[in-house]
Amino acid sequence: MADSDQQDAMLKTAAGVAGGAILFSPVGMPIVHGIAGIAVASLGLIAAGSAIGAITDNIGNAFAPKDQHHEDDYPDFMDDDDE
């Protein structure tokens, strides 16, 4: 049983070293650049989705009837009666 565990550990170590060597070889560099490009693109999509979500929330609040507006939503909003 101990030999099997030792062989598994050696195999995992060898696979990790071989995988790292392949990624930093000239053949593997396009893979690294592709992964980095996917990460940057996904961050851009997340940022765009957040911005679009904020815009649609504000549009929904702007078109809500005046009696549904709360002072907490618009702290700078003052009615003419408050002056």
State the pTM of this model.
Answer: 0.44
Q: What is the CA radius of gyration of the chain?
A: 28
Q: Are 27 and 34 in contact (CB under 8 A)?
A: no
HSE-CB at 42 with a 13 A cutoff on CA atoms is: 6
Q: Percent of the chain scored above 90 by pLDDT?
A: 27
54-66 pLDDT tens trace? 888 888 766 766 6
Q: In the chain, what are the domain boundaries? A: 2-82
22-71 pLDDT tens trace? 877 887 888 888 889 999 999 999 999 999 988 888 887 667 666 655 65
Gap between the Cα atoms of 47 and 44, Å rounded? 5
Residues in the chain: 83
Any idea what the Cα angle at residue 72 is, between residues 66 and 77, rounded to 5°? 55
